[in-house]
Structure 1
Amino acid sequence: MHNKIKELLQFGTVGAKVAIKGWIRTKRINKQVVFLTINDGSCQQHLQVVMTPSELPKELLNQLVTGASVAVSGCLVASKGTKQSVELHGDHLTLLGSAPDYPLQPKPHSLEFLRTWMHLRFRTNTFGAVFRIRHAISYAIHHFFHERGFCYLHTPIITAADAEGAGELFRVTSLDAAHPPKNPDGSIDFRADFFNTATNLTVSGQLAAEAAAMGLGAVYTFGPTFRAENSNTSRHLAEFWMVEPEVAFNNLDDTIALAEGLLKSLSADLLKTCPEELDFLNQRLQGHKNEADKTPSMDLLERLQFVLEQPFARITYTEAIAILMEAASNKNGTFAYPVTGWGIDLQSEHERYLVEQHFKRPIVVTDYPKDIKAFYMRQNDDGKTVAAMDILFPGVGEIIGGSQREERIDYLKQAMQRAHIEDLNWYLDTRRFGTIPHSGFGLGLDRFVLFVTGMENIRDVIPFPRTPGHVAC
């Protein structure tokens, strides 16, 4: 048995005999003392190990380099340093794994460089903090829904449905790619495929979750989704994780309240559970501020307080367009995408302007034009808009998107025809047999982690990012 460094730093007793295992982060040596800093992944902090050179054979001493793994036993003593209360005076050390030519030396590395070593970047301070925060958020999400009586649902990853109707799908097939069977018109005959039909990786678990909510009342999915969008921006991934609750008998107002409650609960939880990680990443963020960027920026604690302190503002899409049309950034041409009038799709820069400069708090935008939203959203009485909502955050723009779902089968059929959606008879059955008002939303986990950690690129908040041209590991 060995002790976790986190437990020793929090509860370790001076004089106790302990044993640790971990990776060397740094080594300092003089004639009298060898100083090693060891991290085992259990927390953000390292434990300092002190030994005398005479206790270590020269060959072993030369192998104690950054990246090497070791087991050390000894006695805890009070630390003379200010960064930790105890340190380990070792009396026995075993080399578990050597690390000659280890590429991540104890010096600053760019995030671009670390992406070339993504299988090793977990060992750095920055990515240790990011992924412990990601874990804490994931756990808190499950806790939030469990406390409120939701049923956790595992929805299909392979599906024949395109929930968004955008067509940006990864095809799944067992057919011979070089010689697929063909129909008389030259198209691929998917009847010979494994599922006897064309299938793809899911872009959303929503449609299946709707069916489950019709019997279970309140459900949520939490899993990977996939989109074959050829985008190399700092906000897009080909594989990303979504949290998607669906609730029977809820309307749009109910869903907005649920979404705001989730975001506030997660923010409060992180302030309690991840103070060291947030502090470390906040110092990193302050050190990387770009003086040329005139946009007001908040530190990480301010971001979380920003979410917690006051109710989210609420406006309609029509009101948002009016504000943006009159914005100085629109009139003087600062926006990369000029706001020309009602009906346009809001870009990230528009969303951030509304949050960061106009309202100065998170906002909920509702009632979007039906022509720019998905087919399943409930049409409003005006015939032009749908009962949709997006929640906008500083730094990232849209963090949640949701809607009241169209429960009227005639309206749903018309919307599916406009979007050229076919082969969803099972989905229509949920409206044929005991249809009800219901509502839900999707939270992009990766975007929320991006917001919380202050990282600049979404590729740095998911363990192994999948983007156009990159599928390492």
Structure 2
Amino acid sequence: MEEHRYSHRVLARSILARPDGGAALAGQTLCVGGWIKSRRTHRGVVFLALSDGSCASSLQVIVDPEKELDTEQLHTGSCLLVKGELVLSPGKGQAVELHAREFLHAAPADASKYPIAKTKLPPEFLRTVLHLRPRTDLISSVARIRSALVLATHTFFQQQGFIHVHTPIITTSDCEGAGEMFQVTTLLAPEKREHLVASTQDQIDAARELVTRCGDTVRKLKEKKSSSKAEIGDAVKQLKAAKDEEARLVKRAEDGGADYSADFFGRPAFLTVSGQLQAETYACALSNVYTFGPTFRAEQSHTSRHLAEFLMVEPELAFAELKDDMDCAEDYVKFMCQWLLDRCYDDIKLMDDKLTESGALERLQNVVSAPFARITYTQAIEMLKEVKDFTFETPVEWGMDLASEHERYLAEQLFQKPVFVYDYPKAIKAFYMRVNDDGQTVAAMDMLVPKVGELVGGSQREERYEVLVQRLEELELPLDSYEWYLDLRRYGSVKHSGFGLGFERMLLFVTGLENIRDVIPFPRSTGKAEL
């Protein structure tokens, strides 16, 4: 059996993921390593369940007392690198087991203090031990599913001819125009804190007095015939610096806040809420691109669906309208679901076994087997108004932004599968979405799925310069901040569309987990930023 190239051991996946469960490998001597998930003893024989995280199953290691191997300190949580013979297993649940011959490495864990016990632990508790929870069956399966979806994402877009673009994490643009952004600043450093507050009148008066003195010096030097050009030049520079300082203090007083000219970037900067606007610049040159990276929202939210830091997949398609955008989003989601069915079946099945109401396998099979529904926003409102067997907390009326309860009812009850809702009211959508001919709606779409609600949000982008300027003005957004974005419409504008998929929400959908903090390794949310 060939060892892993970089660790001189055989991965459990190489044995247990074979169609025969490793039976054909019986009789081979090999080395495996991992962490002990459970231990039991029967008639002096020690049975260890060893997991290295490479697959959903553990390899059973048998330690016979005749081998005189020290197992006294080996309990749940201990690390073990063991050499032995793989034999056919007479027990149920596994095709093979490893009969230990030699311990190459053994690092014990204190059973009385180890917090990850063998018994079933709720996700709420596991969030308190983020550094250890990857050792549990549930979280390790989530990690493998997550890794598989990353590869599936790149595979899908690369196969479709998209170019991957890295967009910045630090930005000076707010894609959503919502203002819920984390600010990036160096003004908190002790030597710069004076720039955080508005200028006082005393500071402005002192600056003006300095300007006056510098001006008098320049005037006297010019009147004095013996003054050299160098002396006059230095005095003029000092006068200019004094005037600049006065102007800076006056502006800071008018703004009532920080002096960003002293900040690292010389202007307000933030963590990105989306890479969309930057990705559009490349779509308007390379045609089809996508970005896949972290985004940040400073929302004071404690719900099970929101994070402060999460991943977004954001493709942009040139020469594409809203229908093309929905087609791409549907194909992408179906591709990911089929990818998991083909490559992560055991992990998805584990979700069904671990979670009472997961239904993960059935949900993925339903996604790949039928086309998604598509309805307009107006049709969605009419359908929700006709609902008689359920009372929504938020009354349904045209012009509202659909709440999670409305989204899930549409996907789970009325359609029982993913559904696109498109042509939303202009008033509740962002400035960059293309205004429809009715003047009241925009070419925007959301993909709603069972268990989650909104999974994808996208739109056809507004390619008409005059209309885009009008939208920015309507929403009172500063035109000078979006001059570069307007240039894309000034010079060779093109119809284009795009969408964003919340990667962690996709993981909620495919796993059946209820809380988004359980599908990301190190969740960041209001008041929570461990490790």
Once the two structures are TM-superposed, the CA of residue 54 in structure 1 deviates from its matched residue by 4.4
8 A contact 1:162–1:202 mirrored in 2: yes
Match of residue 477, structure 2, among 421, 426, 442:
421
Take 2:166 and 2:43, find their aligned partners in 1: how far apart are those partners? 59
Deviations 1:424-473 (A, max 9, x none): 11111111110010000001110010010010100000000001000001
SS in 2 for 1:50: strand
Take 2:499 and 2:511, find their aligned partners in 1: how far apart are those partners? 23
The aligned residue for residue 503 of structure 2 is: 445
Residue 4 (structure 1) aligned with residue 11 (structure 2)? yes
Take 2:94 and 2:329, find their aligned partners in 1: how far apart are those partners? 39
Computing the radius of gyration from Cα coordinates, the structure with the larger value is 2
Mapping 1:328-343, distance limit 5 Å: 328-329=388-389, 334-339=391-396, 341-343=397-399
SS in 2 for 1:62: coil
TM-score by length of 2: 0.84
The aligned residue for residue 227 of structure 2 is: none
Take 1:313 and 1:382, find their aligned partners in 2: how far apart are those partners? 23
Take 2:162 and 2:398, find their aligned partners in 1: how far apart are those partners? 38
Match of residue 122, structure 1, among 115, 134, 140:
134
The aligned residue for residue 325 of structure 1 is: 385
Take 2:417 and 2:15, find their aligned partners in 1: how far apart are those partners? 40
Residue 274 (structure 1) aligned with residue 344 (structure 2)? yes
Code of the residue aligned with 1:152 in structure 2: it is: H
The aligned residue for residue 153 of structure 1 is: 165
Mapping 1:41-440, distance limit 5 Å: 41-56=53-68, 60-100=70-110, 101-176=113-188, 179-181=193-195, 182=198, 183-185=252-254, 186-286=256-356, 289=357, 299-329=359-389, 334-339=391-396, 341-422=397-478, 423-440=481-498
SS in 2 for 1:184: helix
Deviations 1:173-205 (A, max 9, x none): 111267241412331111111000000000000
8 A contact 2:83–2:104 mirrored in 1: no
Once the two structures are TM-superposed, the CA of residue 97 in structure 1 deviates from its matched residue by 2.3
8 A contact 1:27–1:65 mirrored in 2: yes
Deviations 1:290-342 (A, max 9, x none): xxxxxxxx711111122122211111111111111111156xxx211111x21
Once the two structures are TM-superposed, the CA of residue 156 in structure 1 deviates from its matched residue by 0.2
SS in 2 for 1:63: coil
The aligned residue for residue 293 of structure 1 is: none
SS in 1 for 2:129: coil
The 3 A distance-change label for structure 1 pair 176 and 38 is same
Take 1:5 and 1:105, find their aligned partners in 2: how far apart are those partners? 22
Once the two structures are TM-superposed, the CA of residue 344 in structure 1 deviates from its matched residue by 0.5
Q: CA RMSD in A?
A: 1.3
Take 2:76 and 2:500, find their aligned partners in 1: how far apart are those partners? 42
Structure 1: runs of 5 or more not aligned: 290-297
Code of the residue aligned with 2:306 in structure 1: it is: H
Deviations 1:343-366 (A, max 9, x none): 011011111111221122211111
Take 2:253 and 2:281, find their aligned partners in 1: how far apart are those partners? 37
8 A contact 2:447–2:454 mirrored in 1: yes
8 A contact 1:31–1:53 mirrored in 2: no
Deviations 1:141-195 (A, max 9, x none): 1000000110001000000000000100000011126724141233111111100
Take 2:177 and 2:55, find their aligned partners in 1: how far apart are those partners? 43
More helix, by proportion: 2
Deviations 1:361-398 (A, max 9, x none): 21111100011011100000101000000111011111
Structure 2: runs of 5 or more not aligned: 1-7, 199-251
Take 1:118 and 1:94, find their aligned partners in 2: how far apart are those partners? 29
Take 1:177 and 1:77, find their aligned partners in 2: how far apart are those partners? 63
Code of the residue aligned with 2:15 in structure 1: it is: L
* Deviates further, 23-32 or 145-154: 23-32
